[in-house]
Amino acid sequence: MLESLGFEVVNPNCPECAEGYKAKGMEFFKQFAQACDAVAFRALASGENPAGIVSEVGWFRGINKPVLELPTGFLRQSIDEHKTRELLDEAGFR
């Protein structure tokens, strides 16, 4: 999806990154993130984000680079029409 939007995607779960992590720890990923124009991430199926991703997103925000969160569990997180109407009523939109 990102490549179809014109991004060059670099997967940090590659052998070169694994070696960089062994040599420099999380500092490697901080440098890796700084060399990118943007970062994209997807939460785990549970909706949680691992500590490394949280750190990298924080670094990116700190240097004012775009952070894209890809959808996770879209259908699992969907609510029915009744619940949607209830939420809109509570928010004052109906």
Closest CA to 59 of 43, 35, 79: 35
How far, in Å, CA of 29 to CA of 51, rounded?
12
Q: For 15-66, how does the pLDDT look when each residue is reduced to its tens digit (9 = 90+)? A: 999 999 999 998 898 888 888 888 898 888 788 899 888 888 888 888 898 9
Query: pTM of the full predicted structure?
Result: 0.63
